[in-house]
Amino acid sequence: MGTSKMLRVFVVLGSLFMILFIIIYWDDVGASYLYLHTHVSPGPKTSAPPPQPKPKTSQMPSFLSDIDAFVNQFLEPGSDEPTDPAPAETGNQSEKAEERYIPRQEWKVHLTPIAPELRERQEQRRRMLQEFCINDSLTFPGKNRSFDDIPNQELNHLIVDDRHGIIYCYVPKVACSNWKRIMIVLSESLLHDGVPQRDPQAVPGELVHNTSMHFTFNRFWKRYGKFAKHLMKVKLKKYTKFLFVRDPFVRLISAYRNKFELNNEQFYQRFGQVILRRFANQPTPPAHADEAFSQGIHPSFAHFVHYLLDPQTEKDQPFNEHWRQVYRLCHPCQIQYDFVGHLETAEEDAEHLLRLLKVDNVVEFPITARNVTNSSWETDWFRTVPLEARRKLYKLYEPDFRLFGYERPDSILNE
């Protein structure tokens, strides 16, 4: 009799255990579904629960196995960290650093709303982008292709922060170093003494452009395989997407000043020597930048412009990111950006954006002493460039001028 009662007790307990097991398993799967189909909360990060063992069945279709494998990536703890380990700052890494880490409150109460003129400015910029993308008044390569048609290597400028639901398309020579610093702080991809770095200005310069510090769209294939493109679309739909731009000609001048007027061995080897051979009557330019600069040899701005206009340039290799058009870096007709910042209004736009992202008490846009290339200098810089070359250069960058609301520089095109 006693044995019979014990058997009934075990049967009841076993049944309860199986019910509990099923509830927990499907609860975890539901949590992953919500991750993919709901807005991301900007609150503190919470670790995902460990995955429960999946009940084995002998007749599971292969497509269900694929879905389970995909879902498990989101259930595994630490799945939101970069694929490649990010280098940590040197310092004493304490064994008890984790105990000292106290998540901060990432909310801030504002007593006044965002100024109406700032909201209207953003609405106008987004509207202009959409209008040029849907009508035929402006044409350029790749305008009408779909997001699926964009090659993976062309998605390497889209940085993702899963902690706060942010996607940033960085444009070189448009304050991208400071915005990359902010993305590193928000994503907590850099540790200092075992805890995430809090100060964007404290991020070492050599790490700002280190690819291991940023999780970009082109790396999704390595992590998610055949689900990569679908997951990109999910994030593009749910996350806040932003970019910063500037006057295209001023950006070119800034790139030239930084890469060719300064002693830059890498750019001298890759581009300077080519420009000198083709356009500066230097068939055998000095082998190194130090030697060239000591002799007063470097490409002029006019040489640089001719290099950009030469069809052979892109036959050899695509434009370098520092002078590649923004529409080729950020694909504004395939991606509907929520915020379009201009370098000319950088401080106002940065404050507005960080407030929209609800991270303005976590980070501040770094205010640094900058040697900004001024748009009023355009006439002086283009003085040595032939008029016909100026007009061809405008046609090359016209999509960027019109998509982002920059006026045609008639003062240098109509002489």
Q: Which neighbouring-strand residues pair with 195?
A: 192
**What is the average pLDDT value for the chain, to the nearest integer?**
82
Confirm whether 334 is domain-assigned. Answer: yes
Residue 119 banded pLDDT, cuts 50, 70, 90: very high
Residue 242 bridge partners (DSSP): 168, 339
Kindly report, residue by residue over 135-165, the tens digit of the pLDDT. 999 999 999 999 999 999 999 999 999 999 9
Q: What is the pLDDT of residues 172-204, one digit of tens each?
A: 999 999 999 999 999 988 888 888 888 888 899
Q: Is position 262 within any domain?
A: no
Does any domain span residue 371? yes
Give φ, ψ of 241 to 5 degrees: -110, 135
Alpha-carbon torsion, ordered 58, 59, 64, 65, to 10 deg? 30
| pLDDT band at 55; cut points 50, 70, 90 | very low
Q: For tokens 């340039």, what's the residue?
A: 313
pLDDT for residue 360 is more than 80: yes
Residue 411 in any domain: the answer is no
With pLDDT > 90 as the criterion, what percentage of the chain qualifies?
Answer: 63
User: CB of 60 within 8 A of CB of 185?
Assistant: no
Number of domains the chain contains? 1
**Arithmetic mean of pLDDT, 81-87:** 40
- DSSP state for residue 216 in the 8-state scheme: B
Q: Tell whether 207 is covered by a domain.
A: yes
Q: What's the rounded mean pLDDT across residues 83-92? A: 42
pLDDT of 265 > 60? The answer is: yes
Residue 121: φ, ψ to 5°: -60, -45
What average pLDDT does range 382-395 have in this prediction? 97
Q: What is the pLDDT of residue 13?
A: 76
Task: With cut-offs at 50, 70 and 90, classify the pLDDT of residue 242.
Answer: very high
In the chain, the N- to C-terminal Cα span, in Å, equals 109
Q: What token pair was written down for 310? A: 């030469």
In a domain, 111, yes or no: no
**Residue 109 pLDDT class (50, 70, 90 cuts):** low
Rounded mean pLDDT of 248-257?
Answer: 97
Show the domain range for 200: 116-247+330-375
- Contact (CB, 8 A) for 341 and 158: no
Specify the higher pLDDT residue, 343 or 48.
Answer: 343
Confidence band (pLDDT; 50, 70, 90) for 7? confident
63 located within any domain: no
Give Cα 198 to chain centroid, integer Å. 19
Average pLDDT of 290-314?
A: 97
Query: Taking 80 as the threshold, does the pLDDT of residue 74 lie above it?
Result: no
86 in a domain, yes or no? Answer: no
